[in-house]
Structure 1
Amino acid sequence: MPCIQPANPDKVKEMKEESFIREGKGKLKVTIEGSETLETTINGRLKSIEEIAEMLGVEAKDGKIEAVVDGVKVRMEKGKLELEFESGERMKIEKA
């Protein structure tokens, strides 16, 4: 049985949306929703669910991540990552 370690808040605070993206073929749509909505498309693809779970120190269940890490709600399934911050702002990264 693997040992799951708790998330390291200092490590998580340093993460940006680029932390979840791997260079390569493909396009991703990044949407940030707050007082206004910003959308952009970038080149690359999401890292795997397992890689992101390891980065955050959480466990992936049934190919999905649903966790709260340092006050940020994280939901991920194949091809889609959503982060909801305590301020109410949301960021979505998904295949374009």
Structure 2
Amino acid sequence: MPCVQPANPDRVKELKEESFIREGKGKLRVTIEGQEKLETTMSGSLKSVEEIAEMLGVQAKDGKIETVVDGVKVRMERGKLELEFESGEKMKIERA
């Protein structure tokens, strides 16, 4: 059974939401839910599950990531990334 490592907060101190997006072809829908719900579309594509797992210092299991990094819940599967912050705000980035 593979050992699942906890996320390494030191590796993610300088990461921003844009770090998960690759410039180029494609469209992404970004939804932010907090006091209000904001939705927009932008050009680009999500980085792969494996790339993001490496950025966060965790291991992907069955092509998915479910972890907590520096108080932020991160859930990802191919084409869809969800971040839930301690404040209760949620951000979802997915293929449009």
The equivalent of 1:19 in structure 2 is 19
Corresponding residue for residue 66 of structure 1: 66
Question: Normalization by structure 1: what TM-score?
Answer: 0.89
- Asked if 1 retains the 8 angstrom alpha-carbon contact of 2:67 and 2:73, the reply is yes
Q: Once the two structures are superposed, what CA deviation does each residue of 1:35-68 show, in whole Å capped at 9, x if it has no partner? A: 1111110000000000000000111000000111
Q: TM-score if structure 2 supplies the norm length?
A: 0.89
User: What is the number of equivalent residue pairs in this alignment?
Assistant: 96
Name 1:80's counterpart in structure 2.
Answer: 80
Of all paired residues, the percent bearing the same amino acid is: 84
| Per-residue deviation, 1:9 | 2.3
Runs of 4+ displaced beyond 3 Å: 2-8
In structure 1, what residue type is equivalent to 2:23? E
Let me know the Cα RMSD of the aligned residues: 1.9
Amino acid at match of 2:76: M
Structure 1: runs of 5+ lacking an equivalent: none
